[in-house]
Structure 1
Amino acid sequence: MSYDKVEVPEDGEKITAVDAENDELDVPENPIIPIIHGDGIGQDVGPAAQKVLQKAAEATGREIHWMRVYAGESAREKYDENLPEETVEAIREHRVAIKGPLTTPVGAGFRSLNVALRKKLDLYANVRPTYHLDGVPSPVKEPEKMDMVNFRENTEDVYAGIEWEEGTDEVEKVREFVEDDMGFDETIHQGAVGIGVKPITEFGTKRLVRKAIDYALENDRDSVTLVHKGNIMKFTEGQFRDWGYEVAEEEYGDEVITEDTLWEEQDGEQPDDAVVVNDRIADNMLQQLLTRTENYDVLAMPNLNGDYLSDAAGAQIGGLGIAPGANFGDGRVLAEPVHGSAPKYAGQDKVNPSAMILSGRLMLEYIGWEDASQLVRDAVEATISSKKVTYDIERQIEGGEKLATSEYADEICKNIEDLA
């Protein structure tokens, strides 16, 4: 495809799909990777992440050819719109990309630019690994017990956005339908009301759970936990649970065993090379994140539960400034940090870029560059352990050296050189 306002690197090669459904890609040693620096602090963390990821690629004998694309404020300056089709097509064509945080302006035509990108590209699994790096302050006593990967469904649930505003003719029609036609006449209080519909489908659930189980099998994880509120919402979240078990029992054979079978037939002894699939009620799972952290490995959740649980897990390892994330589709990934754009700090060369750097690590792992991915993690951890950190961590530790965003990225690059 030709682009109007995007420059395609001449020396790089495209990543192509061999079998997109099974995430099999043909990745050259010099791939073209689109990058959106992002809004607000994106102008700081985007270039910092780009520098570190490039250094890790070079240290392992490769080179990334970055393709700058635009969304949010930078897109408004170039295209006079927030999410130009060129940006979407660039990511679609090149399959692997990374972005910084985006702010959706009021009245922009989108509830969220982030959600719009995920939907347009069908990036249906939001994946957030949560692990503690040595030296990062944490509010819990043993943050090292957290080593969890959250799979959050990205396209359904309350984020599908089917709702009606109070005082409108439409909401009164829905109220009438619910109360009179469906017989739930005591469900809704009288007076003003807003009503929303929460869709959870078999298709959306099964492909998300499939992704989570595949990840667990490929990465030697012991369990996949379906997190839901099915005790109350029996036909949406309860169905998520049931469909999840159907995937496990019907598609994976001896590779997967349910928790019930584990105890009824195996006396609690997990077979080698088998993943245990279990389920937990969402509110109980929030408690067990703290009380039984080490018992959980991979979580698979509907959209809203995944939002809550992944942020809560991130808090245990030091907060969203450290927490990485990425959105996965079939043969496609868009890495992005969990945190927002924090416009009041924009351009100050101050904030912590670790979350975007570690999101890039996920991207490297996805394209099969495990050596470069591990270098990034080890170098970030070595930098933090040496107490050469950005202001957010420096103020919480004794004897720290406060670095600017760019200086911190340079320090990580030095550690990559030393570790390579």
Structure 2
Amino acid sequence: MSYDKIEVPEQGEKITLKDGSEDELEIPDNPIIPIIYGDGVGSDVGPAAQKVLDAAADATGREINWMRIYAGESAREMYDENLPDETVEAIKEHRVAIKGPLTTPVGAGFRSLNVALRQTLDLYANVRPTYYLDGVPSPVKAPEEMDMVTFRENTEDVYAGIEWEAGTEEVEQVRDFIEDEMGFDSTIHEGPVGIGIKPITEKGSKRLVREAIDYALEQGRDKVTLVHKGNIMKFTEGQFSEWGMEVADEEYPDDEVFAAPDSLWEEQDDIDIPEGAIMVEERLADAMLQWMQLRTDEFDVLAMPNLNGDYLSDSAGAQIGGLGIAPGGNFGKGRMLAEPVHGSAPKRANQDMANPSALILSGRLMFDYMGWDDAADLVRDAVEETISSGKVTYDLERQLEDAEKLATSEYAEEVIDNIEKLS
């Protein structure tokens, strides 16, 4: 399609679906990939990450043809709106994209631009791999034990945005219905109340868990843990767990996936799991916040509803040094949008000082999705080599002894040098 303000590269080919497939992609060696630099520090980390990813692609005999697209502040300047239709259409058409952090301004018409992109594109799985890079300062004794991938349902739960403000006519209508029609007449306290709805669907739950199990099988992982608070929210998070276990039990051969019985914790060593099969178990969300720290190496792939995924993935990121180096990606059917976990940090914008590692490593996740495993490995290894050598941006330098503080652009060049040395 043609665009009004987006310039399509003259060179390069579109990523397309394979003939007859709904989700398998045909990846050329010279793909056109849309990129949103993002707000705040996005203006610094976006170009830096782009250069690093270019270098990794080039080192493996490929070429990325970048296509700048716009959301947030850059879109307001060009389109006078925060999320232009052609930005969404460009991602739909080209299927794989990457973005920096976005800030939703007050009165923008969106609760969150990030959430709006995920819901509009039906990117139903937010995937965050959390692993330790040598040299990164961490608050825990053994950060290297963390090698966990969280699959967070991305389109429903409280993030669906179905809620009513206290003092409005709408919230009183909902309150009357809950109390008079549904019989919860002594549950809500007197006085002003805000009310929200928490939808958890069979469709949303099953496709998320299916994605997590498929990933575990493809990557040779040992276990998938469904994380929920179903002992209290029995008909939302409890049903997420039930539907997830149905996927494990009914959709995969027994020699591939073992659906564990309830309450396994201390007895796991005694369970007879078929050789080579992954185990799918379930854990309560509050307990998982503890076990992630005390028994880090016993967990592998986690799948959970939206809000739990937000909390637990951030907690996991803290164990390996913080969200400044935490990558992420949003996955749908035959579509992927990579993004870092951290925010836009507007106070640090345009100062050439922000750490671009999270966006660079989000690009690594994008490469993995594209089947460019060699380029993905180069990115990870080069970032780790750079950090372990003590050449880091200000956020890490202030926590390390004898480290050399680099600007954003200088750090990117150092990573590129290491890509060239490692390739």
* Same-fold call, TM cutoff 0.5: yes
Partner of 2:63: 63
- Count of matched residue pairs: 420
Partner of 1:310: 313
CA distance in 2, matches of 1:366, 1:296: 22
Query: So what's the TM-score if we normalise by structure 1?
Result: 0.98
Query: So what's the TM-score if we normalise by structure 2?
Result: 0.97
CA distance in 2, matches of 1:351, 1:228: 35
CA distance in 1, matches of 2:64, 2:274: 41
Partner of 1:369: 372
Which stretch of the first structure deviates more once superposed, 209-218 or 162-171?
162-171
Structure 1, gaps ≥5 residues long = none
Partner of 1:85: 85
Structure 1 letter corresponding to 2:260: E
Which whole-Å deviations, capped at 9, do the CAs of 1:175-215 have from their partners, x for residues lacking one?
Answer: 12111211111111111111111000000000000000000
Verify: 1:334 aligned to 2:329, yes or no. no
CA distance in 1, matches of 2:240, 2:19: 27
Partner of 2:391: 388
Q: Identity of paired residues, percent?
A: 76
Partner of 2:257: 256
Q: 1:19 to 1:107 in 2, by over 3 A?
A: farther
CA distance in 2, matches of 1:384, 1:265: 37
Shift of 1:265: 11
CA distance in 1, matches of 2:92, 2:5: 16
Shift of 1:271: 2.6
Verify: 1:407 aligned to 2:410, yes or no. yes
Shift of 1:259: 2.1
Shift of 1:164: 1.2
Which whole-Å deviations, capped at 9, do the CAs of 1:255-297 have from their partners, x for residues lacking one?
Answer: 1102229979994243332110000000000000100100100
Say if 2:262 and 2:282, in contact at 8 Å, map to a contact too: no
CA distance in 2, matches of 1:144, 1:78: 44
Say if 1:125 and 1:329, in contact at 8 Å, map to a contact too: yes
Query: What SS does structure 1 have at the residue aligned with 2:337?
Result: strand
CA distance in 2, matches of 1:321, 1:197: 32
Structure 2 letter corresponding to 1:13: E
Say if 1:57 and 1:64, in contact at 8 Å, map to a contact too: yes
Question: Where do 4+ consecutive residues of structure 1 move more than 4 Å?
Answer: 19-22, 261-266
Shift of 1:139: 0.4
RMSD of Structure 2 on Structure 1 (CA): 1.5
Partner of 1:109: 109
Shift of 1:98: 0.1
Which whole-Å deviations, capped at 9, do the CAs of 1:28-63 have from their partners, x for residues lacking one?
Answer: 000000000000000000001000000000000000
Partner of 2:162: 162
CA distance in 2, matches of 1:295, 1:22: 34
Say if 2:40 and 2:345, in contact at 8 Å, map to a contact too: yes
Which stretch of the first structure deviates more once superposed, 290-299 or 253-262?
253-262
Shift of 1:330: 0.6
CA distance in 1, matches of 2:260, 2:199: 27
Say if 1:226 and 1:301, in contact at 8 Å, map to a contact too: yes
CA distance in 2, matches of 1:248, 1:62: 38
CA distance in 1, matches of 2:20, 2:272: 36
Say if 2:391 and 2:411, in contact at 8 Å, map to a contact too: yes
Query: What SS does structure 2 have at the residue aligned with 1:148?
Result: strand
Structure 1 letter corresponding to 2:113: L
CA distance in 2, matches of 1:323, 1:23: 26
Partner of 1:301: 304
For residues 90-239 of structure 1, the aligned pairs below 5 Å read 90-239=90-239
Which whole-Å deviations, capped at 9, do the CAs of 1:8-45 have from their partners, x for residues lacking one?
Answer: 11110000012797641100000000000000000000
Query: What SS does structure 1 have at the residue aligned with 2:324?
Result: coil
Partner of 2:349: 346
Say if 2:289 and 2:312, in contact at 8 Å, map to a contact too: yes
CA distance in 1, matches of 2:263, 2:12: 50
CA distance in 1, matches of 2:137, 2:331: 30
CA distance in 1, matches of 2:107, 2:348: 24
Q: 1:133 to 1:266 in 2, by over 3 A?
A: closer
Structure 1 letter corresponding to 2:284: I
Partner of 1:397: 400
Structure 2 letter corresponding to 1:363: M
CA distance in 1, matches of 2:325, 2:352: 17
Structure 1 letter corresponding to 2:76: R
Partner of 1:28: 28
Which whole-Å deviations, capped at 9, do the CAs of 1:333-385 have from their partners, x for residues lacking one?
Answer: 00000000000000000010000000000000000000000000000000000
CA distance in 2, matches of 1:414, 1:89: 36
Query: What SS does structure 2 have at the residue aligned with 1:230?
Result: coil
Q: Choose the corresponding residue for 1:274, options 277, 295, 307.
A: 277
Structure 2 letter corresponding to 1:257: F
Say if 1:259 and 1:276, in contact at 8 Å, map to a contact too: yes
Q: Choose the corresponding residue for 2:420, options 413, 417, 420.
A: 417
CA distance in 2, matches of 1:178, 1:20: 47
Say if 1:34 and 1:67, in contact at 8 Å, map to a contact too: yes
CA distance in 2, matches of 1:265, 1:125: 28
CA distance in 2, matches of 1:398, 1:85: 48
Q: Choose the corresponding residue for 1:286, options 266, 284, 289.
A: 289
Query: What SS does structure 1 have at the residue aligned with 2:18?
Result: strand
Shift of 1:94: 0.3
Say if 1:20 and 1:332, in contact at 8 Å, map to a contact too: no
